[in-house]
Amino acid sequence: MEYFKGGKVEDIITLRLDYGDDIHRSMERLCKDQGIHTGVIVSGIGTLYKARLHTIIATDFPGRDEIKETEGPIEISGIHGIIADYKPHMHFTIYNRETDQVMAGHLEPGCLVLYLAELCVLKVGNLSLSRSHNKEKNILELRRE
């Protein structure tokens, strides 16, 4: 275990997304435009017509995952994550009405907004986080810069 202490909330930024907006790409753009090197995504809700996520598929190392895609009227019950080195790492839970399926995992580019999506980000100062690749585990690990 490793933890990183000392950050301070510098700003609270709320993002509204509209039809066709890609959640992941929009969040990446927000981070660059607003200079969010380190942050916390504390809330996210909305609707999608296309969702794309990845989930783990095994418990051994190195880690392995699989991309899942679904289309239809999709409700987002929650998005949350951490921004490190201007890059968002988000997880979410969704419900697809057509398939009556609940899914959860890592939010990937390709999640396209239907009616709307709203996210809230805390911009953190006085703490610089990044991720480095652990080759043995095949994961990106959070680190203090």
Q: Which residue in the block uniquely carries the two structure tokens 């909330």?
A: 9
Domain that holds residue 128: 10-144
pLDDT for res 119: 98
Positive or negative, the CA dihedral 92, 15, 48, 112 is negative
Q: What count of residues does the chain have?
A: 145
At 50-98, the pLDDT tens digits run 999 999 999 998 889 999 999 999 999 999 999 999 999 999 999 999 9
Could you tell me if residue 1 is inside a domain?
A: no
pLDDT of residue 62: 87
Domain count, the chain: 1
Q: Please check whether residue 30 lies inside any domain of the structure.
A: yes
pLDDT at residue 63 in the model: 86
Confidence label for 131 from pLDDT (cuts 50, 70 and 90): very high
User: Mean pLDDT of all residues in the chain?
Assistant: 97
Q: Confidence band (pLDDT; 50, 70, 90) for 33?
A: very high
Q: Is residue 122 domain-resident? A: yes
SS3 assignment, position 138: coil
Domain membership flag for residue 123: yes
Burial of 6 (0-12, 13-18, 19+ CB in 10 A): exposed
In a domain, 5, yes or no: no
Read off the pLDDT of residues 95-115 as tens digits, 9 standing for 90 and up: 999 999 999 999 999 999 999
What is the pLDDT at residue 65? 92
CATH number of the domain that 83 lies in?
Answer: 3.30.1330.80
